[in-house]
Amino acid sequence: GHTTLELNLWANPEDRKTVIKALEETGEIVNLEILVRTKTGTKLSCLFSAKTLTYKNEPCLLFVLNDITERKKTEDKIRESEQKYRSLFENMNSAFAFHEIITDENNEPTNFKFIDVNQKYKQLWDVDDTIIGLPITQVFDVVEKDWIIDAWNVIKSGIPILRRDYL
């Protein structure tokens, strides 16, 4: 057999040092994220778990590598998408607020809660991030029950409506 060093498995030499130190100190590792290299040179992100044990009076190491390369790629794509969304959300020319609808015990809409607002919304309505988490009726005293019901109906039906109300 060959050692992991001879096989050039450690894509990051610091990972090997971390593994050795942890095994010497506690005798086990659970889900340590490491980077390994295959014999073709491909790098894989893995979760490494190991435990030292004795088998037939011989010291042994039982270990598992769980390849999470695809999961990491997916997480990176999601993070990139979220950054694009955040940039669009913050820099769009339209005022935009993201709300959660609050319902009563009969599942009827009673209010909106602010989840997020963009810069244009803050400028237009002269508000800041302190409104996040607050009911809209606590922030603005001009909200009519009809607005809340109309929004609820749009959510349920998926059919947009046009309101022409002026403050």
Please write the tens of the pLDDT for every residue from 14-57: 999 999 999 999 999 999 999 999 989 999 999 999 999 999 99
Instruction: Give the Cα separation of 89 and 16 in Å (integer).
Output: 43
Phi, psi of 88 (to 5 degrees): -60, -50
pTM attached to this predicted model: 0.58
What is the number of residues in the chain? 167
pLDDT at 73 over 60: yes
167 pLDDT band, cuts 50/70/90, is: low
Summarize pLDDT for 78-127 with one digit per residue, the tens: 999 999 999 999 999 999 999 999 999 998 899 989 999 999 999 999 99
Helix (H, G, I), strand (E, B) or coil at 41: coil
Please give the structure tokens belonging to residue 156: 């349920």
DSSP class of residue 165 equals -
